[in-house]
Homo-oligomer: A and B are copies of this chain.
Amino acid sequence: MDAFVISIGSELLTGHTINTNASWLASQLNMAGIGIREVRAIPDKLEDITAALNDAGKKASLVLVTGGLGPTNDDITMNALCSYTGSGLVVDQKVLEDIRQFFKKRGRDPGKVNLDQAMVPEKALKVIRNPNGTAPGLWMEKNGITIIAMPGVPHEMQHMFTAVILPELIKLFPGNHIIHRHVLTQGIGESFLASRISFWENDLPPEISLAYLPSAGIVKLRLTGRGKDGKRIRDMIEEQITKLKRIIPEYIWGYDMDQMEEVAGRMLREKGLSLSTAESCTGGYLAHRITLVPGSSDYYRGSIIAYSNSLKELLLGVSPGLIENHGAVSGKVAEAMASGARKRLGTDFSVGITGIAGPGGGTAGKPAGTTWIAVEGPGVIASERFIFGDNRERNIIRTANAALMMLIRAIRDQG
């Protein structure tokens, strides 16, 4: 069972958009045991779409198409599918109603171009509704080949695929089990981690393979098991994870789709504890990460972002002497920021961050990327220095990850 991915959109051929849809679909299909034969990115042109559909049907039994379903003139995928399958267009009443509701919810009237998106090929076996946008997905067939078309907007496509298409595909094409599990670590580099766990890695059974996926201070360890017996493979992976937890307990903070801010939030909620933050160089990014979690207002109170020294004094009560004697980027100031936020915002825990995000602003003694992070909680205050690189955005992300790890450890230690 092979699949063929057709990515439609001129923006993919000008370099303006990276084709992340194709790789996302590839990884999803792979996990379901469906291999990809080819990925083809083509412009919104009828003859190219038709040629790609023809070739795809010769090479694979499943064809996934993304893009070109929007309301504007440059979107012609729907027409191409009609002409390819010899189908006319009909109005889908459910989609029409979805579009009306979509606009109603936003307090606006749909235009004709939007309502026209309810026109779908009459030969479509299934019209896939789109709760995140106005373009529906299509499930069609020609000469025994399954053709599925989805919008190119990533979150619309992903939701449609996960909620409707993948479950149907798994029913249609059952078979080999590929099971992935992720162990999430922070604070140890890929190569150090590899040598630390090499004994365990070399001992993995042949059914299980390991990959290191590093990003911004986090290394994800992906264990992939393959075999006919799903339960056996799953148990084998669990056994290996149990062993791994004994080797590097201090670096593991979560599993699979966990996010650090979710893990910290769950721990705070379970223990009935509250949190505030005081940020300088991360400029609100830590607060943003924490508040991305739905329901975070249950434990998170807020943050004071003091970009200037005078605001560190005014809003957080950091004493001018401290800044003068130790510098704004110092352990003492990070601790005073955490302490000030904790007191003023009245929370159990608080995190203080001060540093030089870069690329400018560094000195010989304190290069760009130097960051101090402090965590204060009931009976505990800890601060740590990190020296990252000179890429501003990466420094901000790495700092937030390091801060969340310190916070997770501190809450964990509360028992």
Tell me if A292 is interfacial: C-beta within 8 Å of chain B: yes
How far is A38 from B48 in the complex, measured between Cα atoms in Å?
A: 9
Tell me if A27 is interfacial: C-beta within 8 Å of chain B: yes
User: Residue among A19, A111, A393 with the most chain B CB within 10 A?
Assistant: A19
For chain A, what secondary structure do more than half of its interface residues adopt (helix, strand, loop), or is it mixed?
mixed
* Chain A 22-42 interface 0/1 with B at a Cβ cutoff of 8 Å (1 = within): 111111111000011111111
How far is A107 from B145 in the complex, measured between Cα atoms in Å?
A: 55
Assess whether A190 is in contact with B72, with CB atoms less than 8 Å apart: yes
Contacts of A27 in B (CB 8 A): 14-16
Assess whether B308 is in contact with A305, with CB atoms less than 8 Å apart: no
**Which single residue of chain B is at the shortest CB-CB distance from A308?**
B301
How far is A304 from B302 in the complex, measured between Cα atoms in Å?
A: 8
Assess whether A291 is in contact with B307, with CB atoms less than 8 Å apart: yes
Q: Which of A106-127 contact B (CB under 8 A)?
A: 106-108, 110-111, 113-114
Known: A13-B39, A191-B114. A283 touches B294 (CB 8 A): no
Tell me if A360 is interfacial: C-beta within 8 Å of chain B: yes
Q: Which of A97-152 contact B (CB under 8 A)?
A: 105-108, 110-111, 113-114, 132
Tell me if A391 is interfacial: C-beta within 8 Å of chain B: yes
**Which single residue of chain B is at the shortest CB-CB distance from A311?**
B302
Known: A13-B38, A23-B12, A389-B132. A72 touches B360 (CB 8 A): no
Tell me if A409 is interfacial: C-beta within 8 Å of chain B: no
Q: Report how many residues on chain A are interfacial, defined by Cβ distance under 8 Å.
A: 105
Nearest CB of chain B from residue A136's CB, rounded to whole Å: 15
How far is A293 from B13 in the complex, measured between Cα atoms in Å?
A: 29
Tell me if A84 is interfacial: C-beta within 8 Å of chain B: no
Assess whether B111 is in contact with A195, with CB atoms less than 8 Å apart: yes
Number of identical monomers bound together in the oligomeric complex: 2
Contacts of A38 in B (CB 8 A): 13, 40-42, 48
Tell me if A234 is interfacial: C-beta within 8 Å of chain B: no
With beta carbons under 8 angstroms apart, the residue of B192, B294, B305 that contacts A303 is B305
Assess whether B39 is in contact with A360, with CB atoms less than 8 Å apart: no
* Chain A 279-299 interface 0/1 with B at a Cβ cutoff of 8 Å (1 = within): 100111111101110111100
User: Residue among A110, A191, A387 with the most chain B CB within 10 A?
Assistant: A191
Assess whether B294 is in contact with A304, with CB atoms less than 8 Å apart: no
How far is A306 from B284 in the complex, measured between Cα atoms in Å?
A: 12
Contacts of A389 in B (CB 8 A): 105-106, 132
Known: A10-B211, A16-B213, A308-B301. A190 touches B39 (CB 8 A): no
* Chain A 185-213 interface 0/1 with B at a Cβ cutoff of 8 Å (1 = within): 00001111011000001000000011111
Nearest CB of chain B from residue A22's CB, rounded to whole Å: 7
Nearest CB of chain B from residue A65's CB, rounded to whole Å: 15
Contacts of A26 in B (CB 8 A): 12-15
How far is A288 from B287 in the complex, measured between Cα atoms in Å?
A: 9
Tell me if A222 is interfacial: C-beta within 8 Å of chain B: yes
Tell me if A227 is interfacial: C-beta within 8 Å of chain B: no
What are 30 sample pairs from A and B whose C-beta atoms fall under 8 A apart?
Answer: A11-B222, A16-B222, A17-B23, A19-B19, A37-B43, A39-B39, A39-B40, A40-B40, A72-B212, A73-B194, A74-B209, A105-B387, A106-B389, A113-B191, A155-B391, A283-B287, A283-B291, A283-B300, A284-B291, A284-B303, A285-B288, A291-B307, A294-B357, A294-B358, A294-B359, A295-B360, A300-B307, A301-B307, A301-B308, A315-B344
Q: Chain A: residues with CB nearer than 8 A to chain B?
A: 10-20, 22-30, 35-43, 48, 55, 70-74, 105-108, 110-111, 113-114, 132, 153, 155, 180, 189-192, 194-195, 201, 209-214, 222, 224, 279, 282-288, 290-292, 294-297, 300-308, 311, 314-315, 344-345, 357-360, 367, 387-389, 391-394, 396
